[in-house]
Amino acid sequence: MAFNCKKNLKIDKPVEQCAVFGVTCDDKAFTISKLLYLGLISLQHRGQESTGISILKTGGSIVTYKNKGLVSTVLNDDSLSKLWGNVGIGHNRYATTGAQEYNSLEYIQPYHFKNNEIEFSLAFNGTIPNYHELKQELEAKGRIFITNTDTEVIAHLLAYTANEADSWPEILKKVSKSLDGSYSLLILTKDGDIKSE
């Protein structure tokens, strides 16, 4: 039986989902913001709704800059000149959840999470079908959410699991057992590491 892809394949828009990108450099005097920019520009086709980057500044604080629009609009020379650091992650958004609210900055990634125990920034691509159930379980344990996205659920799950684990590899191993679906994660830690799952 012959298959005519033009006849049977119905694609009326790009079949893409978010871009995630990370850069690390051992030289603390070198800033990677322009490298993140170039990486996200080359992945622009993976998401045109918004873009953002998180960079670990010298001294251990994570700075996140994000906004609606294309990479070249959001990450212009002025914004990049203020983002100095040698480790960072970036994200271009193509919404699959929370699409109706994507105008809010809380829905744009990277998602920066900080509480008294842990700080990290998360860039996520994928779909987690069981995120509603995970969110209900975390709410029952006292977690408070400000968005309706699987990204925030993953961030809270990472933070909750960090209380029961000794290292990022152990945290990711435990969290991955709870997540259904297909996904890619980049996590920028306060220690200057980029973890991926």
Q: Domain spans of the chain?
A: 16-196
Return d(Cα 134, Cα 125) in angstroms, integer: 18
Asked whether the bond before 14 is cis by omega within 30 degrees of 0, the reply is: no
Is the pTM of the predicted complex or chain greater than 0.95?
no
Mean pLDDT of the chain: 85
**Residue 29: which of 94, 74, 85, 79 has the closest Cα?**
85
Catalytic annotation, residues:
18
Q: For the domain 16-196, what is the CATH code?
A: 3.60.20.10
> pLDDT grade, residue 109 (50/70/90)?
very high
Residue 79 tokens read as: 């914004």
Q: Is 116 exposed, middle or buried (0-12, 13-18, 19+ CB in 10 A)?
A: exposed
pLDDT in tens, 52-71: 999 998 777 999 999 998 98
